[in-house]
Amino acid sequence: MKEQQQNAQTEIRRRIITRIKELAAQKKLLKQSDFLSEQLAGEMMYGFEGVYTRSEYDDLVTGIFSELLQKKRERTEKPIEQPQGDSNIVIEVKNLEKVYEMQAESVHALRGISFSIERNEYVSVMGASGSGKSTLLNILGCLDSPSSGDYYLGGENVSGMNDRQLAEVRNRKIGFVFQTFNLLSRASSLHNVELPLIYNGTPSSMRREMAYDALNKVGLGERVQHKPNELSGGQRQRVAIARALVNNPQIILADEPTGNLDSKTGDEILDLLDEVHRNGNTIVMVTHEAYVADKTHRVIYLKDGIIDTDRLTYNGEKKNNKTNVDRKYR
Ligand SMILES: Nc1ncnc2c1ncn2[C@@H]1O[C@H](COP(=O)(O)OP(=O)(O)OP(=O)(O)O)[C@@H](O)[C@H]1O
Ligand SMILES: [Mg+2]
């Protein structure tokens, strides 16, 4: 960010916070939407119109309000149970069950799943369509809660958390990559990658730099202003991976990340995930393709909502220098 722009930002930020404090002192509340109105935005940006753009201002306001919200939450919410010890286990599930209650019937998607995953493991989840792979990954990714059973994420028991706590843990610890990319279609690559940082209240000056950095890492430094429909499928998935990486999460979860790509582009995405793994991340990836699973180090095979097998791949044996014992029976 240029110095002039940085100075403008500092001053505008000061004005916004001063205004919020003044009004709070009079027991009045100003909402984020008020600051995004033309009138107040004009007032706050007065004198900096040529230096600071309206969209930068909007991001700044969003960032400030997320910071305030976060602080308020920290004051009011009971602290999340802190991890115990310095165990190498990052994911541990015990007797996980998931029942979807439908009108006419209930679907038992997971029927008692237990396993643990250590730091920097590279795991794939396979199984027939409907066997529960996405259900499991969504629970691991704190996008959904189990009906029963326990889930410890980095030692924190997350199975009893409410949606807001889950969202906070997800933002802090997990990057999620979907088969259909799930990008905001009207937003640039840069903005898409910045989103998790906006949600966790990272100041906008840092956000931009972190998003650039993540896009550079996935080889898209030249495409930061492109919107999803101006990118190829592989490039879109790279943006999604950059978005997953931008918070430096320990765990990357990917649900068929190459499912919508041709095989060459898919291979490039797998190479990228390999690199992410080599850099220290733990990866859990759902896939239908045996050759994709072979690239990982361990395959958990689901059948009708339970674990059928849980084995090291050839690569996993090589890495661990272990003979292949089905982990279910260890
Ligand atoms: N939101 C939901 N409501 C009701 N039933 C659901 C829901 N999501 C999944 N299911 C059911 O749960 C079971 C497991 O679904 P899941 O999506 O986890 O399978 P999957 O292994 O990911 O399949 P695929 O390979 O086709 O993606 C299926 O029988 C499915 O119909
Ligand atoms: Mg699925």
Mean pLDDT score, 213-220: 93
Mean pLDDT score, 51-69: 88
pLDDT: which is higher, 38 or 74:
38
Handedness of CA 286, 288, 292, 297 (dihedral sign): positive
Whether ligand 1 lies within 6 angstroms of the CB of 133 is answered as yes
% pLDDT > 70, the chain? 93
Mean pLDDT score, 160-183: 92
| Measured distance CA(1)–CA(209) in Å, rounded | 8
| Measured distance CA(291)–CA(112) in Å, rounded | 28
Closest C-alpha residue for ligand 1 atom 26: 129
Whether ligand 1 lies within 6 angstroms of the CB of 104 is answered as no
pLDDT at res. 76: 64
Mean pLDDT score, 170-181: 93
Band of residue 50 on the pLDDT scale cut at 50, 70, 90: confident
Closest C-alpha residue for ligand 1 atom 17: 134
Whether ligand 1 lies within 6 angstroms of the CB of 103 is answered as no
Please, what are the domains in the chain? 3-76 (no CATH), 92-329 (3.40.50.300)
Closest CA to 41 of 27, 24, 53: 53
pLDDT at res. 80: 46
Both tokens assigned to 257: 């990340």
Ligand nearest to the CA of 109: 1
Closest CA to 260 of 289, 283, 282: 289
Beta bridge partners of 125: 286, 300
pLDDT at res. 86: 59
Q: Which of 96, 107, 140 has most ligand 1 atoms within 8 Å of CB, for mutation? A: 107
Band of residue 220 on the pLDDT scale cut at 50, 70, 90: very high
